[in-house]
Each structure stands twice: as structure tokens, then as C-alpha cells.
């Protein structure tokens, strides 16, 4: 059975207090209709940033309740397809981004998609649609959708795209999954604080691993498993992702810490997800012929 979650159901924080808008069972297909990260408030390039209600940015569609999923489980989300609208928006915001210390003028740019190509003025770019925000409810409290953590959230990982699989630890009954913040295209780092922000639709298949969970969100692609770290700065995010990667190598090969630490220097790539949001993001990328998902679940 296919369930559709309309874009009228939006949240701006992940919380166990959010009321689910749909109930699904493991194995079902769920389609999330999403609104762009600026809440659909930018109509054209003349839209002043001062007119934007910043409490309505980074919306996520949901949450949904998954029957039979409990704390200590792993929620598994297969990204079957991502459909985006034919127009994206990117902005610069004074004080924001990697170079936020500079005198940055507010600017809005509309990026059309024509015949399968994204246009930045006369520069043609190949779209690579991805999901910026995907997460579950934390065990308590409320975490804004604009930041990331062990629950997922605004991870901005370019590999969360069509054909990838996301593993999230479950903290509350039903998980309360929500997603949004689609990008037509984003480079690692999301340097200026925005990517090609777009509304669209995500087709997912939901499943569960009972009784085991990852310490941090995981993203599996055809060739890699990515451990998604977060932190107040890139150093902290790097340490978190590396700790989990090394622990996984210890488990996979029954190595001492020192041996796994050395092996990590040979096979684990550290890559920046984004360097601009409240929680910075770094992923530890491990080839799938080196490690299994099972070694990254506790």
C-alpha cells in the first residue's frame, strides 16, 4: 500500500510531542510532498529577505508513526525516487555561510531547470536531487529542523539521494519520521548557507531492524557506508564520526583500538557535509567491501 503525506503537514522541530499525521507499517511505500527550505516564501528575485518569516524555514513534512517500531530499533528508509519542481532558489544572507564575516549583501537568485539541466545564469549544471533534512524524534525535548544530531535532522549529506538507504536510531515509539529541505544540487559544505532549494516529492520505503541501532545516522550507497557526525564545529563532528567508524572496524575484524585506528587511516575518508548550520557536519565514508552495516549497529 502507498501512503501520501501532503506538504500541508509541516513541522519545524523534531520532538516526541509532535502528533503523527499518518500511520504506516514496515514495508510500506510512503510519499512525502515537501516545501522548499525557505517555506515557499520566495516568489521571484525581487523578494526582499526582510519579508521572509524565518520561523517558517527548513520545514519537514510529517511526522509519520511506524507501527511496531520501538526505542532501540533502527529505522531504515530506502530513497526510491526524488522529484523536484522546475525552479529552485538560492540566497545569500548577511552574516551567514563560511564567509559570513564579510560584508555580504542579501541576494535572491532563481535557478530554472530546463530540459534536465539546472541553470545558474548561462552556466549549465547537472541536477543531483538530494534530501537535506531527514530525521526522527529525539528521546525528549525539541530539536529545530535546521540542525542535526544523533536523530538525523538537517544533515545536508549529498549521498541522501535516489537509490540510497538511511539508517536512523529510534528513540521513541513509532519513531516519528519527517523529511524535507530538498536540493536540486548541493556541493559538500553548502558554502553560502543555501543550496538550490526546491519543493518536490520523495518516494520512500520504510523498514526496521529490531533490537539494534546505530550510534549515529548511517547512509548506505552502492559503494560506501557513511557515518554522519555532528558538532559545534568541524573538529567535534570529525571526532564523532571517526569514533564510530573505528569502533565499527574493531567489531568487523576483531581488532584492538590501535589496529583499527591504523586501518581507518588507510580506508576511511572524512568529508564535510556542511560547514554553515548550527551543528556542523562531517561524514566518515567507509567502502562497503571493508565494513558491513551489522558492525555499525549496537
Cβ atoms of 130 and 161 within 8 Å: the answer is yes
Whether 45 and 159 map to the same domain: the answer is yes
Question: For 19-68, how does the pLDDT look when each residue is reduced to its tens digit (9 = 90+)?
Answer: 999 999 999 999 999 999 999 999 999 999 999 999 999 999 999 999 99
Question: Residue 1 has what pLDDT?
Answer: 81
Whether 228 and 162 map to the same domain: the answer is no
Chain centroid to CA 198: 15
Confidence tier at 124 by pLDDT (50, 70, 90): very high
Boundary (domain end) residue, out of 214, 239, 268: 214
Whether 44 and 65 map to the same domain: the answer is yes
Query: Cell numbers of 97, please?
Result: 555561510
Instruction: Say which CATH number the domain at 27 has.
Output: 2.60.120.580
Boundary (domain end) residue, out of 174, 197, 214: 214
Is the pLDDT at 244 greater than 90? The verdict is yes
Whether 226 and 209 map to the same domain: the answer is no
Cβ neighbors of 242 (< 8 A, separation 6 or more) are 229, 264, 268, 270, 284
Average pLDDT over residues 128-132: 98
Confidence tier at 274 by pLDDT (50, 70, 90): very high
Is the pLDDT at 256 greater than 90? The verdict is yes
Cβ atoms of 194 and 145 within 8 Å: the answer is no
DSSP 296: G
As a whole number of angstroms, the distance between CA 112 and CA 110 comes to 6
Question: For 92-112, how does the pLDDT look when each residue is reduced to its tens digit (9 = 90+)?
Answer: 999 999 999 999 999 999 999
Whether 151 and 252 map to the same domain: the answer is no
Of 291, 277, 110, the residue nearest 196 (C-alpha): 110
**Residue 46, phi-psi category: left (phi > 0), alpha (psi -120 to 50), beta (remainder):** alpha
Instruction: Say which CATH number the domain at 263 has.
Output: 3.10.28.20
Confidence tier at 149 by pLDDT (50, 70, 90): very high
**What is the chain's mean pLDDT, rounded?**
97
Residue 93: phi and psi, rounded to 5, are: -130, 130
Average pLDDT over residues 220-235: 98
Whether 185 and 98 map to the same domain: the answer is yes
Boundary (domain end) residue, out of 214, 237, 255: 214
Cβ atoms of 178 and 10 within 8 Å: the answer is no
Average pLDDT over residues 174-180: 98
As a whole number of angstroms, the distance between CA 120 and CA 129 comes to 16
Whether 189 and 57 map to the same domain: the answer is yes
Whether 192 and 251 map to the same domain: the answer is no
Cβ atoms of 290 and 172 within 8 Å: the answer is no
DSSP 61: E
Domain count, the chain: 2
Q: What range defines the domain where residue 161 resides?
A: 2-214
Whether 182 and 229 map to the same domain: the answer is no
Whether 173 and 233 map to the same domain: the answer is no
Is the pLDDT at 175 greater than 90? The verdict is yes
The model scores a pTM over 0.75: yes
Is the pLDDT at 126 greater than 90? The verdict is yes
As a whole number of angstroms, the distance between CA 2 and CA 206 comes to 11
Residue with cell 559538500: 188
Whether 170 and 114 map to the same domain: the answer is yes
Cβ atoms of 183 and 169 within 8 Å: the answer is no
Whether 205 and 260 map to the same domain: the answer is no
Amino acid at each position: 500500500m502507498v501512503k501520501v503525506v501532503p506538504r500541508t503537514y509541516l513541522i519545524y522541530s523534531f520532538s516526541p510531542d509532535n502528533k503523527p499525521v499518518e500511520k504506516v507499517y514496515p514495508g510500506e511505500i510512503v510519499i512525502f510532498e515537501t516545501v522548499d527550505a525557505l517555506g515557499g516564501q520566495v516568489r521571484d528575485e525581487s523578494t526582499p529577505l526582510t519579508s521572509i518569516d524565518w520561523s517558517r524555514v527548513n520545514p519537514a513534512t510529517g511526522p509519520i508513526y511506524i507501527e511496531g517500531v520501538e526505542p532501540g530499533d533502527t529505522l531504515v528508509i530506502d530513497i526510491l525516487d526524488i522529484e523536484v519542481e522546475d525552479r529552485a532558489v538560492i540566497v545569500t544572507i548577511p552574516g551567514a555561510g563560511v564567509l559570513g564575516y564579510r560584508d555580504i549583501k542579501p541576494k535572491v537568485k532563481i535557478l530554472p531547470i530546463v530540459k534536465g539541466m539546472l541553470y545558474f545564469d548561462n552556466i549549465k549544471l547537472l541536477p543531483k536531487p538530494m534530501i537535506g533534512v531527514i530525521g526522527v524524534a529525539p528521546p525528549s525535548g525539541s530539536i529545530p529542523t535546521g540542525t542535526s544530531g544523533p536523530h538525523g535532522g538537517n544533515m545536508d549529506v549529498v549521498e541522501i539521494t535516489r537509490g540510497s538507504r538511511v539508517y536512523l536510531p529510534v528513540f521513541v515509539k513509532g519513531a516519528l519520521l519527517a523529511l524535507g529541505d530538498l536540493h536540486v544540487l548541493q556541493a559538500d559544505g553548502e558554502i553560502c548557507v543555501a543550496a538550490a532549494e526546491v519543493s518536490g516529492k520523495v518516494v520512500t520505503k520504510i523498514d526496521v531492524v529490531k533490537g539494534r541501532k546505530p550510534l549515529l545516522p548511517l547512509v548506505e550507497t552502492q559503494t560506501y557506508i557513511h557515518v554522519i557526525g555532528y558538532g559545534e564545529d568541524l573538529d567535534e563532528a570529525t571526532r564523532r564520526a571517526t569514533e564510530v567508524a573505528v569502533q565499527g572496524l574493531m567489531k568487523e575484524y576483531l581488532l584492538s583500538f590501535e589496529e583499527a585506528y591504523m586501518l581507518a587511516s588507510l580506508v576511511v575518508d572524512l568529508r564535510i557535509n556542511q560547514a554553515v548550520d548550527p551543528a556542523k557536519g562531517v561524514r566518515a565514508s567507509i567502502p562497503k567491501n571493508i565494513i558491513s552495516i551489522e558492525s555499525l549497529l549496537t
